[in-house]
Amino acid sequence: MNTAVPAEWYLILSAALFTLGVVGFLIKRSLISIFMSIELMLNAVNLSFVTFAHEWHAVKGQIFVFFVMMVAAAEAAVGLAILISIFRARGTLTVDQIDLMKL
Amino acid sequence: MNEPMLFLPLIPLLPFVGFLLNGVLGSKLPKALVSTIALAFPLASFALVARAAWMVYSGLALPVIEHGAPEWIVFGAVHIGFGLALDQLTLVMLLVITGVGFLIHLYSVGYMEHEQGYWRYFAYLNLFLFFMTVLVLASNFLLMFVGWEGVGLASYLLIGFYIDRRSAGDAGKKAFVVNRIGDFGFLIAMFLLLGSFGTLNFSEVAAQLAGHAAISGGVVTLICLCLLLGATGKSAQIPLYIWLPDAMEGPTPVSALIHAATMVTAGVYMIARAHALFDLSPTALLVVAILGTATAFFAATVAMVQTDIKRVLAYSTISQLGYMFLGCGVGAYSAAVFHLMTHAFFKALLFLAAGSVIHGLGGEQDLRRMGGLRKQMPVTFWTMTAAVLAIAGFFPFAGFFSKDAILAAAFQHGVSGKALWTVGLTTALLTSFYMFRLWYLTFLGESRADGPADSPANGHGSAHAGHAHESPWIMLTPLVVLAALSVCGGWIGMERFGAFLAPVTGGVQAAAGDGGQIEMMLSALAVLVAAAGWFVAHSIYGRARNDRANASLALPRRVLERKYWVDEIYVAGIVRPLEGLARYGLGWVGEWTLVRGSAWLLAGVASLSGEFLRRWQSGNLRSYAAWLTAAAAILLIFVLAGTLFGINGFADTIHWAVR
């Protein structure tokens, strides 16, 4: 009797997390929340990478996860810095009000 | 080859070097150097021509042909060479062009001294000499056409030399456009020649014509008439003469060189050159003769009432060119060329003397404001007198011999010739009359410089008119030389001149032997007619102080003063309709569909697509996010659909999607 969790479950979880991330990305107004949604999507993808790597006994997927984490870390560092300076400049982090680039 | 070198290519190339030097560097060179360059190269060219003439005199066999490139233009069976040929006709033309040309260059140094663009003027003048010598040296029609177009260009540039005068620019354009009409005929003639002979070489065409008459008379007549159209354009004959009077807007030495002595005779030269063709087509010859006679008479009548000294001379030139055409038309080519040569002498002299008068009066060109200049400008007066006597045809001046030769040839040319002769003789009367009218009005009587003139002066006012001065020696020298030529130029005699040209133009029509008596009588009659013209001019202008003494002939006078309204008729009949078509027909279509339409189309596409695309750029971060997501979703759907439809791989999916 195989007690291991089937791979499909991981994938379903990954898809659910990703969808949550997308929905959050679309509907949240705070930049912080949008930022967190992006992280959520990245980690959902990471989860599916790891799942497939384990399933197919391939190490590439796990290596890719490290790359994604690295990019995510860099993005977090830069992105948070941008958020701070936006807040300093505009006094808000609501995306609907940050529309100076509009034509 | 033992043949002595004639350096034919150098004859045109030397003035061209002068043009390049003055044209490129002239604005930076001192005036003296510009004049030196402008004079030295034509002089060198003339020296080469004189040397060639001397060699011919000492027994050099003509024609001499120097090929620059035997195969200049080759397409299919057509081979056109690039060759220069020297024969008797070319030699005469070259002597006139470079000789008179140099004298006029010399004169210009004095005349143009105070003008803006001194260097530009001489560059153009040298350019003209280059093209004119190419025209007469060419050994085929195409190279001749190059020179033909080139002199047209130089003429255009020089007519419009006073770039600050609108009328000058207009006159230049008129000359150019009218000449284009003639050039069109020349081009058609060349195509027909290529089609029926396969060559454009003068000698080969003549050889084929002499060899066998495989070419139908109709084609030859058509070629001749097309050539004639070209000649009427360049030589200012009916119906294309209208540009020449306006061409007087150019500086006076230009009128002397281009619009009297050389360029306008190109048509006569061309007909003489192509005489082998014309000889085969009596119809074309008759047309030439009638056109020439009609032009001669018509222009002479107009010249009688013109008040601008240069316009009188311009119409006189048209009239004299008509004589040359008459000469060609009755087959007396050598007589026509003879008249061409003497005319170059005395008409250049007339223009230069007129220029001297204009110069001395500070730009005054109106005959009604001249008078009494005999004392103030003695050299100009006496040289002009020689020229007037020459053009009127008094024995023993040059014009007598050549005009007499043409009239005699016409007289002996059958029944039509008699009619032409009558008109020609009448024209001689008119010629004598209007030339002496000009002479009286300019030099004799009292000065009318301060008197009332009912039309504004053409030139720069008459501030100096009261105290006219004689021109400097550099202008008088050419006058004196040309006066000597006008007196003696005809002494060669038609027989000798005709015999010299005979290898090119065929024998002289009127052999001296058979009609000596008649010729004597004709000559006497011609002189009598000239004297009658003088007498009439004397009785009207010799005593009366004003030009408008005779009011009795008001209507014909008005017709003549308005030049038969030909310009107006052309404007109303041709220029206006074409302009209207251009402006309201093609212009409207071009303006509203091509120019504005395309601009509107481009702008419309850009602004509409911009209007559409800018809605994407809302600046709203979440809408960008939505587009991003939507695009990702669409990609996903494609991938899934690909899987569903059993298509493997991303590339195939894309392919499927695009399909």
Choose the closest CB to B622 out of A26, A100, A103: A26
Residue closest to B504 by CA, chosen among B272, B231, B230, B182? B272
pLDDT tens for each residue of A25-81: 888 888 899 999 999 999 999 999 999 998 888 888 899 999 999 999 999 999 999
CB pair distance less than 8 Å for B622 and A100? no
Contact by Cβ (8 Å): A98, B624: no
Residues paired with residue B67 on neighbouring β-strands, in sequence order: B83
> pLDDT tier at B465 (50, 70, 90 boundaries)?
very low
**Sign, Cα dihedral of B182, B184, B187, B191:** negative
Per-residue pLDDT, averaged over B122-137, amounts to 93
Q: What gap in Å lies between CA B248 and CA B246, rounded to an integer?
A: 5
Per-residue pLDDT, averaged over B174-184, amounts to 91
pLDDT tens for each residue of B320-370: 999 999 999 998 888 899 999 999 999 999 999 999 998 888 888 888 888
Q: Tell me, what's the pLDDT at B458? A: 40
Alpha carbon distances (Å) from B556 to B239, B302, B368, B551, B552: 21, 10, 20, 11, 10
pLDDT tens for each residue of B272-329: 998 888 888 888 899 999 999 999 999 999 988 888 899 999 999 999 999 999 999 9
Q: Tell me, what's the pLDDT at B459? A: 40
Q: Tell me, what's the pLDDT at B114? A: 83
Instruction: Enumerate the residues of chain A whose CB falls inside 8 A of the CB of residue B621.
Output: 34, 95, 98-99
Contact by Cβ (8 Å): B536, B550: no
User: Which range has the worst mean pLDDT, B28-32, B460-464, B559-563?
Assistant: B460-464
What is the CATH architecture of A7-97? Orthogonal Bundle (1.10)
Alpha carbon distances (Å) from B189 to A87, B90, B196, B225: 87, 21, 10, 8
Residues 6+ apart with CB under 8 A from B123: B18, B19, B22, B23, B26, B38
Residue closest to B320 by CA, chosen among B392, B257, B386? B392
Which has more confidence, B117 or B61? Answer: B117
Asked whether residue B652 carries a pLDDT value surpassing 70, the answer given is no
Instruction: Enumerate the residues of chain B whose CB falls inside 8 A of the CB of residue A90.
Output: none
Residue pairs spanning A and B at CB distance below 8 A: 31
Enter the tokens of residue B520: 């004597």
pLDDT tens for each residue of B368-388: 888 778 888 888 999 999 999
The question of ipTM being above 0.95 is answered as no
Q: What gap in Å lies between CA B559 and CA B305, rounded to an integer?
A: 10
B84: left (phi over 0), alpha (psi -120 to 50) or beta: beta
Please report, in angstroms and rounded to a whole number, the separation of the first and last CA atoms in chain B.
Answer: 78
> pLDDT tier at B136 (50, 70, 90 boundaries)?
very high
pLDDT tens for each residue of B474-531: 889 999 999 999 988 888 888 888 888 888 877 554 444 455 677 788 888 888 888 9
Asked whether residue B42 carries a pLDDT value surpassing 80, the answer given is yes
% of residues, chain B, pLDDT over 90? 36
CB pair distance less than 8 Å for A103 and B617? yes
Q: B634 to chain A nearest CA, in Å? A: 14
- Closest residue on chain B to A38 (Cα): B625
Length of chain B: 659
Instruction: Enumerate the residues of chain B whose CB falls inside 8 A of the CB of residue A100.
Output: 619
Q: Tell me, what's the pLDDT at B313? A: 93
CA angle B510, B516, B518 (to 5 degrees): 90
Residues paired with residue B73 on neighbouring β-strands, in sequence order: B80
CB pair distance less than 8 Å for B619 and A22? no
Asked whether residue A91 carries a pLDDT value surpassing 90, the answer given is no
Alpha carbon distances (Å) from B347 to B172, B244, B383, B444, B483: 21, 14, 12, 21, 10
> pLDDT tier at B5 (50, 70, 90 boundaries)?
confident
Alpha carbon distances (Å) from B251 to B111, B161, B256, B264: 9, 7, 9, 16
Q: Tell me, what's the pLDDT at B657? A: 54
**Exposed, middle or buried, B618 (CB in 10 Å: 0-12/13-18/19+)?**
middle
Tokens 């009207």 correspond to B540
Q: Tell me, what's the pLDDT at B122? A: 92
Choose the closest CB to A100 out of B617, B618, B619: B619
Locate the domains of chain A by residue range: 7-97
Enter the tokens of residue B161: 């030399």
Three-state SS for B324-376 is HHHHHHCCCHHHHHHHHHHHHHHHHHHHHHHHHHHHHCCCCCEHHHCCCCCCC
pLDDT tens for each residue of B74-85: 877 777 888 888
Instruction: Enumerate the residues of chain A whose CB falls inside 8 A of the CB of residue B627.
Output: none
B163: left (phi over 0), alpha (psi -120 to 50) or beta: alpha
Asked whether residue B36 carries a pLDDT value surpassing 50, the answer given is yes
Asked whether residue B466 carries a pLDDT value surpassing 70, the answer given is no
CB pair distance less than 8 Å for A98 and B629? no
% of residues, chain B, pLDDT over 70? 90
Q: B625 to chain A nearest CA, in Å? A: 6
pLDDT tens for each residue of B210-219: 776 566 678 8
- Closest residue on chain B to A95 (Cα): B621
Q: What gap in Å lies between CA B561 and CA B571, rounded to an integer?
A: 17
> pLDDT tier at B463 (50, 70, 90 boundaries)?
very low
CB pair distance less than 8 Å for A103 and B614? yes
Please report, in angstroms and rounded to a whole number, the separation of the first and last CA atoms in chain A.
Answer: 63
